[in-house]
Structure 1
Amino acid sequence: MIIGRPGSGKSTFSVMLQKSLNIPLFHLDKYFFIADWVPREYENFLSLQKELVAKPCWIIDGNSSKSFEIRYRESDMCLYFNLPKWLCYWRVFKRLFYKASEIDDRAAGCNETVRWSLLSYMWNYEQRINPLLNALKNQYPKVKFIELRSPYDVAHLMRVLTHKEEYSIVTGF
């Protein structure tokens, strides 16, 4: 399970991890939106998520905090991309002009845009998410929770997960 503010690098990391480990990858935005940023009927979206987490192995990239628990309780690991706001805002604006072609994380017809609702969502992300994550960590202690706070943390974790670097006691992963 990979979560974090838009622009934090979730999808890029997920694609790289999927290619390295050959684990099925599911981007939640492809299931949440139908087209043109129109949300799918919510009960249908929840049903689709339950089907995804029932699979034996998966990487699910995306937020949808109302349904965190569906994914969290079935996860071995939760990666929380909590990178600096300024960096995430920069990346969101940058991807208006460039997005790697191998990152196919959008539903058909959902072109890259920057809307006021997205900027507001990004600004208030921690206030909404952190209390929920704390509750889930307490409720499901078997799930390994890793918070990534910098691009260095992200790169280091990728090397660890793909067995290119040893686990570090200093960083905790």
Structure 2
Amino acid sequence: MAISRIMIVGGPGSGKTWLARQLGLRHELPVYSVDEEVWDRNGALRAPEDIDARVRRLAAQDRWIIEGGNSRTYADRIQRADAIIRLSPPIWLRLYRVLRRDGLRIELFRWTLRYDTVFGAKDRLALRNGKATATCIEVRSDQDMQRLLRVGVECF
């Protein structure tokens, strides 16, 4: 099966951007980050309807990897995805990665701690909803990540 559309979700520090770039190279797919659609060039938060329209335009394309949240558009991506990947490494690892990447930004640290409570169920539901039409993968550890990269999305 040719993979041309991959949806990647998970909390801050889970490795979404890194994995998206690796898979983009492997599958020769353009990589898009939902965060880039959330914030404008000046760092201001876009209106929810603008964010949703921008992400839906990305999902309407023929080839993509879209990494990131915005659960309001999950259904649009799930419907078109060939693969849905949920990254859920241990919270201590996500916190460490966020701290290393962004320094001690208290709000981001708090959001990382709350992510599973707020969005964990939606992320798990994305995997269940996609089972009929897409390869669904949950990555819980570095070993899972290495296996995914070794065998590929098609064989995981």
The equivalent of 1:149 in structure 2 is 140
| Counterpart residue type for residue 34 of structure 1 | D
| Counterpart residue type for residue 148 of structure 1 | V
Q: Which has the larger radius of gyration?
A: 1
| Counterpart residue type for residue 43 of structure 1 | E
Q: Cα offset for 1:129?
A: 2.3
1:95 is aligned to 2:85: no
Unaligned runs of 5+ in 1: 97-112, 168-172
1:74 is aligned to 2:64: no
Within 5 A, what are the aligned runs for 1:6-45? Answer: 6-35=12-41, 37-45=43-51
The equivalent of 1:160 in structure 2 is 151
Cα pair distance change 1:149/1:138, threshold 3 Å: closer
| Aligned partner (choices 45, 52, 65) of residue 71 of structure 2 | 65
Separation (CA, whole Å) in 1 of partners of 2:43 and 2:93: 24
The C-alpha deviation readout for 1:41-83, integer Å capped at 9, x for no partner, is 2111111111111111110011122332222222111110100
- TM-score calculated relative to the size of structure 2: 0.84
1:4 is aligned to 2:15: no
Separation (CA, whole Å) in 1 of partners of 2:140 and 2:124: 17
Separation (CA, whole Å) in 2 of partners of 1:43 and 1:68: 14
Separation (CA, whole Å) in 2 of partners of 1:25 and 1:129: 22
Separation (CA, whole Å) in 2 of partners of 1:15 and 1:90: 21
Calculate the aligned-residue CA RMSD, in Å.
2.1
SS of alignment partner, residue 95 of structure 1: helix
The equivalent of 1:122 in structure 2 is 112
- TM-score calculated relative to the size of structure 1: 0.76
1:133 is aligned to 2:126: no
Alignment length (residue pairs): 149
Separation (CA, whole Å) in 1 of partners of 2:14 and 2:129: 26
Q: Cα offset for 1:114?
A: 4.5
Unaligned runs of 5+ in 2: 1-6
| Counterpart residue type for residue 122 of structure 1 | T
Of all paired residues, the percent bearing the same amino acid is 27
Which shows bigger deviation, 85-94 or 141-150? 141-150
The equivalent of 2:3 in structure 1 is none
Q: Cα offset for 1:30?
A: 0.9
- Normalized per residue, which structure has more helix? 2
Cα pair distance change 1:20/1:137, threshold 3 Å: closer
